[in-house]
Amino acid sequence: MAQDFYKSSSQDKVSEAYARIRAALNHYRSPPGSFLNIRLVAARLKISTTPVREALIRLANEEVVGFIRGRGYHTLFLSSEELTADYEFAMVMMKYAIEARGSGVLEKSAVGPGKLWDGGPVIEELQAAEISAHVEGIYRTIAGLSGNRRVVRNTAAFSARTGPIRQYGLMSNSAIREAVSLLDELAAVLRDSRRDHAVRIAERHTRLIIGALPGLVRDLNNRANSSRTAVEDLL
């Protein structure tokens, strides 16, 4: 019993470290190539270095951060080409999940971001983060329709890698806001099991984001290089 409690507590700390570090990285205000100080991160989070290391291993596996043996974990440079490939592959996974034989429909509780937001410009970064997290939940739910653990796992990694684009785009780009707004319609047609229509909406959602990527990536990389804020200071 005590051992089970210890494992649960340990995993909770890893999950907390993962979420807090990811949230800091989503601000994308640290220059690409900035190394994270694990001891300082642990001190800021008021936990030991072990869950921080485990969280960073997970983030590295998702390619949210890079890793150099002997030096540690570092922030990555955003590439519009790589992100375009990410979104194109995510669309393949969404189409597979939506069309998967034997998959169910979205539950009544699965709704788009309209519950949180009217579709207009997002001013507060906290609201952008909340909407972005809701979008990830929709992606996760759609991936779950496939019944395929690899699709679910790859979708989660995709969501983690694209967090900065989604969050910044909600605040600065009308195409991203339109793409996110489409998820209300996507959720509605999936609840009605109208899968062909759902695929068309998902394709439009993806095209809008891909079209906005070059400008968003340029602006985010410029902001990170000019801001030069340490990740540890964003925790």
pLDDT tens column, 123-174: 999 999 999 999 999 999 999 999 899 999 999 999 999 999 999 999 999 9
Helices (H), 62-173: 80-99, 125-144, 149-161, 163-172
Query: Is 232 within the bounds of a domain?
Result: no
Q: Residue range 208-225: average pLDDT?
A: 96
Q: Is the per-residue pLDDT at 108 higher than 70?
A: no
Q: Is the per-residue pLDDT at 185 higher than 70?
A: yes
Among the candidates 43, 77, 111, a domain finishes at 77
Using an 8 Å Cβ cutoff, are 220 and 165 in contact? yes
Domain region containing 92: 80-221
Q: Does 157 lie in the same domain as 197? A: yes
Q: What is the count of structural domains for the chain?
A: 2
Q: Residue written as tokens 């270095």?
A: 49
Q: Does 192 lie in the same domain as 91? A: yes
* Alpha carbon distance 163, 45 (integer Å): 21
Query: Is 231 within the bounds of a domain?
Result: no
Condensed to tens digits (0 to 9), the pLDDT of residues 109-121 reads 455 676 677 888 8
Q: Does 87 lie in the same domain as 65? A: no
* Alpha carbon distance 208, 213 (integer Å): 9
What confidence score (pLDDT) does residue 110 get?
Answer: 56
* Alpha carbon distance 163, 5 (integer Å): 32
Query: Is 235 within the bounds of a domain?
Result: no
* Alpha carbon distance 90, 153 (integer Å): 12
Q: Six-digit token pair at 108?
A: 């009544």
Q: Residue range 68-91: average pLDDT?
A: 97
218: which residues sit within 8 A by CB, 6+ positions away? Answer: 80
Among the candidates 77, 95, 113, a domain finishes at 77
- Whole-model pTM over 0.85: yes
Q: Does 145 lie in the same domain as 63? A: no
